Structure 1
Amino acid sequence: MTQRLPPSLTPLDTALAALLHGLAPVTPVELPLAAAAGCIAAGMQLLPACPPRDIAAADGWALRANDLVGASSYTPVPLTELPVWVEVGDTMPTECDCVLDAGAVEVSGPLVLVLAEGVPGQGVARSGSDIAENAPAATAGYPVDPAALLLARVAGADRLSVRRPRLRIVNVPGATATIHMIADIARAAGLDVSAHEAGSRDAASIAEALDVSSCDLLLTTGGSGVGRADAAIAALVQCGAQLAHGLALQPGRTAAAGRLGKVPVVALPGSPGQALAVWLALALPLVDRLSARQSRRTVTLPLGYKIASTVGIAEIALLVEEHKTWIPLAVGEWPLHAIARADAWLLIPASHEGFAAGEPADAYLMRE
């Protein structure tokens, strides 16, 4: 039986609210640092102070600044014994609080002269100066970035607590480029991605791949339309999914959203542009909820040109930044060159007629 869209499309807000209803964040897991990169930090893993004690930050002579007041090449300060020579990373000797360059100390037999003053902390890395005692390795609710990994490695941590939702993607043959795009984006967002290909485009073959026993979110790519060979929605329904097929969203009108058992499911169209729009509008909020991610930031700039939108349909516009303004690249339909060039995206609510030129627009960045 050929798939059909219902007489009325489901509003985007309605579909998203149904997907998010009762959805809780996944349980945190501890992952090796390399695997934790890009995932959303969970909890507040605390690090020891680094360095754990005062260490030399320069090669030179370890001294006490109070002993060197007034020292210069004209009025050298004599020492009763040779000071300790330290190199970068060495623990500072007791009571020493500065490191002077090699040329600042003159040694002639038993005579030791200091030719320069020192300042407390000069050439010294204080205890906790790189990482304060009990500082978090990464802030909960935000991605584990290279800076967080650096802190963890310097402090000697080899694992981090993160939330890493498991995503299963089932591709309907014919949407190969789209599944690779979505899988790449999902991995960059810190998800544990498992990608599968249905045996063929018929409902029975697609249904065989719709296993939600070991995933937190299920996506399908392709086969959500009303063509004679489209059967993704029929396959989901055959497996017992409760779906809203046909969304008041452009691009992405033929997408579907709902639940298969307790697992949220989103059926993405096979077109890369439409699939990406549905990912941004529906799948990304699910990912953020499952990851307990803090709200994504927006960048507010005035629009360089007017954006017109149809009331009753939520639309997503692609934007590029030029001269501190947002310039619309594509609205409604997204050619690949616009996707490649876009800096941000803007959701135009279904109740909105668009935006006037010069009006401030709160846009989400395509790449954070």
Structure 2
Amino acid sequence: MTAREAALPFHDVRGRGFSRRSPLTDGWEWIDNRVVAPAARVLPLADCAGLRLADAITAVGDWPPADRAALDGYAVAAADTLGAGSYNPVPLTAAVAVSVGDALPPGCDAVIPYEAAQAVGPFIEAIDAVAPGSGVERRAAWAAGGSPLLPAGRRLRPADLGLLASGGHHSVPVLPAPRVRILLAGGAKAGAPEQLGAMLAALVGRDGGVVGAVGNLPANLDALAEAYVLPGADLILSAGRTGTGPDDVAPPALARAGSLDLHGIAMRPGGSAGLGRAGGTPVLLLPGEPMAALAAYELLAGRAVRRAAGLPADLPHATVQAVTARKLVSEIGCLDLHRVRMDEEGRLEPVASPGWPGLAAAARADGFVLIGADSEGVPDGAPITMYSFTKYRFA
């Protein structure tokens, strides 16, 4: 360590180890106090897919604006079809051919499908009776003018955009997706850069962010510090070089670029994660080992991305209530993330211990369970909550 590095304003754990680690709740509090959704912007509908509505949207007018055909056929007065049947065709003197979406002509209150009518020369005959309103989409069936269309906070889906367009909206106020820069430091040590880059980009997208760039940087303090202060990102995720080895330069680089506010979180895996700021931008340091990076993202960095996107900050995973198939061992003073799978009897069994590296076990798992820092583990047959790796509370 150089004299210059030794003078940096942070507790350097390189070659010393962590004297203590902060509770995960401290990391959550740090994020909640510093990460907010960007100001709303009014954007064209074409640019709004996947974004959050900043305000509730109401219908400009009735939709549909008039009674209209809900199927292809003939618009008729239902009373004119009374008694019609295959053995008793009834002539229709006022039948008008319509297609789906056509407004009903005056005097018509039903649409008889082509299959229930027949052409006899220039005349149309009903061979089945229809009731008033049959085959008709009533005026304001979907929305009356001034009524709610979509609530604030809604993450816009393609069908929502169609609904908004049909309701007379061409642009809406949305929360822009946060711009997230991913930096992979020094080969990310045990994690191949391509593993981490692909995984983290997918997780950021799931949580409502947009990855502006994935950069590969050497394990060089100066290079990392310069990368942290580059403008153009709302959040920075830096993966790799966060531990206690002599080449773990990400924490001192962040301290030089701005501030290293927390380093070392009491969780397994992912305990070398950290948080700080550079040029006013929140920076989250993730371990370079892929499973540790995944855990640190799910439990820490993902919260920052979701808050910046206007999504609920809590874990997005759908939960399943189950019981353990065998004991899950934990460590007092450290929150443990156990990868688990569900057996044929609906019980959960671990596929790897929290300290076991690599993503292979996560790929075999159905989800994960969390064991609090005050627990030594969960006994066989105990109830527990699993967070699903494949199902989420929002899409």
Note whether the superposition's TM-score is higher than 0.5: yes
Whether 1:67 aligns to 2:87 is: no
What's the counterpart of residue 232 of structure 2?
214
For each residue in 1:36-77, what CA deviation from the matched residue of structure 2 results, as whole angstroms up to 9, or x when unmatched?
A: 333333322334554333222222111122333333344444
Aligned counterpart, 1:37:
49
**Shift, 1:327, TM fit:** 3.8
Matched with 1:317 is 338
Matches within 5 A, 1:255-270: 255-260=273-278, 262-270=280-288
Q: What CA distance in whole angstroms lies between the structure 2 residues aligned with 1:136 and 1:342?
A: 41
In structure 2, the partner of 1:234 is 252
Which of 168, 172, 176 aligns to 2:185? It is 172
Shift of 1:282: 0.7
Counterpart amino acid of 2:104?
M
Letter in 2 for 1:274: A
Query: How do 1:1-368 and structure 2 match up within 5 A?
Result: 1=1, 3=14, 4-21=16-33, 23-31=35-43, 33=45, 35-48=47-60, 49-79=62-92, 81-108=93-120, 113-129=125-141, 138-152=150-164, 155=167, 157=169, 159-163=171-175, 164-175=177-188, 176-177=193-194, 178-197=196-215, 199-211=217-229, 213-260=231-278, 262-294=280-312, 296=316, 298-305=318-325, 306-323=327-344, 324-332=346-354, 333-367=356-390, 368=392
Displacement after TM superposition at 1:14 (Å): 1.7
| 1:55-104 residue CA offsets vs partner (Å, 9 max, x unmatched) | 2222211112233333334444444x241111223222123222113353
Identity across the alignment (%): 33
Deviations 1:192-233 (A, max 9, x none): 322253642110111110126433322211111122222111
TM-score by length of 2: 0.81
- Give, in whole Å, the separation in 2 of the partners of 1:252 and 1:267: 10
1:18–1:328 CA distance, 2 compared to 1 (3 A): same
How far did residue 266 of structure 1 move?
Answer: 1.2
Q: Distance in 1 between matches of 2:165 and 2:383?
A: 42
Gaps in structure 1 of 5+ consecutive residues: none
Task: Please say if residues 250 and 314 of structure 1, whose CA atoms lie closer than 8 Å, have aligned partners that are also in contact.
Answer: yes
* Other structure's SS at 2:304 match: helix
SS at match of 1:127: coil
**Aligned-partner residue type, residue 16 of structure 1:** W
Change in Cα spacing, 1:235 to 1:297, as seen in structure 2 (3 Å) is closer
Q: Which runs of 5+ in 2 are unaligned?
A: 2-12
How far did 1:126 drift? 2.8
CA distance in 2, matches of 1:130, 1:138: 12
Aligned residue pairs total: 367
Q: Which deviates more, 286-295 or 263-272? A: 286-295
Q: What TM-score, normalized to structure 1?
A: 0.86
Does the Cα contact within 8 Å between 1:60 and 1:101 map onto a contact in 2? yes
SS in 1 for 2:186: coil
CA change 1:362–1:158 in 2 (3 A) is: farther
Q: Please tell me the residue identity of whatever aligns with 2:69.
A: A
CA gap of 1:262–1:117, structure 2 versus 1, over 3 A, is same
